[in-house]
Amino acid sequence: MTSILHLVKIKKADHDFDISIGVKQVSEYLLAGDIKEVNDQLIYEDEDKEKNIIEYDNHRLVKRPGYETLITNIDCANFYVKNNYIYLGLERNHHSYTYLIGNLYHGEKSDEETTQQQWQYSTDCIDHLFSTATFYSFHINDCS
């Protein structure tokens, strides 16, 4: 009997999935937080009004207090704002990645407005992920 691992061989896999997972974690922190400052680092208050900082440090994207590592093995990272949306730019092995991670819209909103904004945010993120993703191509080995 032959293992499936012997039948399938990944020929090319360029997309760094750990980056997408780390970026999703950052966006989830911001969804529940109140953003205070966006520059070399991202400063926000969580639900408990505790100040948190997300920043690039020693080839990692980390969250403090503590030292929660969100993404490792990156060459640089920066946050920037464009049209009231917050983006995270990363570079790893000469490949650049840009992700929409949040927005700066404030004020009281109805549940319907909040739901619509979250839906649009989710749709924008999914569109961006698919537009930047490199998909796998598989090669099936001949078992004869």
What would the mean pLDDT of 35-55 be, rounded to a whole number?
A: 93
This prediction's pTM: 0.65
Residue 9 neighbours by CB under 8 Å, 6+ apart: 138, 139, 140, 141
Q: What is the pLDDT of residue 142?
A: 38
Estimate the crossing angle of helix 17-32 against helix 111-132, to 10 degrees.
170
| C-beta separation of 29 from 45 below 8 A | no
**Position of tokens 């537009």?**
131
Q: So what's the pLDDT on residue 26?
A: 95
- Band of pLDDT at residue 113, cut at 50, 70 and 90: low
Q: Mind listing the pLDDT tens digit for each residue in 90-100?
A: 999 999 999 99
